[in-house]
Amino acid sequence: MFTLAHLSDPHLPMPTARVSQLLNKRVTGYFNWWRYRAHIHVPEALAGIVADIKAQKPDHIALTGDLVNVSLPQEFRRAADWLTAFDAPDRITVIPGNHDVYVATPWRDGLGLWGAYIAGDGAPPAESFDVFPTLRRRHGVALIGLSTGVPKPPLLATGTLGEAQIARAERLLEQAGRDGLCRIVLIHHPPLSNQSRLKHLTDSASFQAMIRRAGCEAILHGHNHRSEIARIDGPLGAIPVLGVASASAAAGSKYGRARYHLIHIDREVAGWRLRVELRALKADGSGCEPDGELMFHSAAAARVVS
């Protein structure tokens, strides 16, 4: 059995910024953080989630974006230190979210500081967006990391994959399928058709068409700050699309308690079984507790209420 911890949207605390750094899209996000979001995303909740993940000792950790808030260089440095304290680069796979690409930032001052956590197996620390899609193989599981992060105009939180990345992802998925691997796609924006026009994945239809051809066993995303389940068509039936709540959500926030998902992956005669344990921060902050389960057999899914 292989165990994967999935967390997303930690939104690490915002450092102070110089006025010159706010003469762009950052200005609205910066003041929105201090007025509202600082009370929604709290470090105490994130610390509790991280402590529980470490206690559960998963085989690997998937982090699907939005480590930072407005892409300040000092945010990326703070996030790099946080990742180092969390675990080693070969134990955590990171993909960017829209807040990690809030404005165009030189790679070396931004995502490049997390390059070792982004790169695929056998590759040096990622040096540009050209690295996507990434591939990491772990004990029969293929983790395919995508980037939907593209700088957008103010008030937009949409994402875009692009034709080239979708085509490369299709080839990776087809090869991983031929190799008999359990294919887990990591993406920040939910690749669904029913999302807000201000926050959606602009080429979700193209992504879905690719998945109908190539297939995979599950798609994991963040962005919406809620634990949620959907399905999209695959070549052999419906494929689960699993969103996870923000890992730093305050208990009294509109998103409810911080959560992460612990995914237990087993090979079966006819495919794979994925048992997803939802773990939520306790109301008093003293660790996490089970908050329901999802069970998937290949493309079939059923909710188990705990």
pLDDT, tens digit (0-9, with 9 covering 90-100), for 114-157: 999 999 999 999 999 999 999 999 999 999 999 999 999 988 99
Residue 36 is classified by DSSP as: T
Tens digits of residue pLDDT in 187-207: 999 999 999 999 999 999 999
Positive or negative torsion for Cα 197, 13, 243, 129 = positive
Whether residue 302 has pLDDT greater than 60:
no
Quick one: DSSP state of residue 68?
A: S
Q: Is 184 helix (H, G, I), strand (E, B) or coil?
A: strand
Distance (Å, whole) CA 210 – CA 203: 11
| Domains identified in the chain, total number | 1
d(Cα 101, Cα 68) in Å, to the nearest integer?
9
- Rounded CA separation 8/96 (Å): 10
Structural domain for 261, as ranges: 2-304
Taking the C-alpha atoms of residue 147 and residue 162, their distance in angstroms, rounded to an integer, is 9
Q: Facing residues of 94 across strands? A: 63
pLDDT for 286 equals: 79
pLDDT for 303 equals 37
Nearest to 67 by CA among 97, 92, 40: 97
Cα–Cα distances (Å) from 175 to 135, 144, 217, 296, in that order, read 11, 12, 14, 22
| Global pTM value | 0.95
In degrees and rounded to multiples of 5, residue 230 shows phi and psi of -145, 180
CATH code at position 156? 3.60.21.10
d(CA 38, CA 45): 12
Sign for the CA dihedral angle at 63, 138, 242, 234 comes to positive
pLDDT band at 304 (very low <50, low <70, confident <90, very high): very low
59 pLDDT band (50/70/90 cuts)? Answer: very high
Mean pLDDT of 100-104: 96
Residue bearing tokens 């070969």: 90
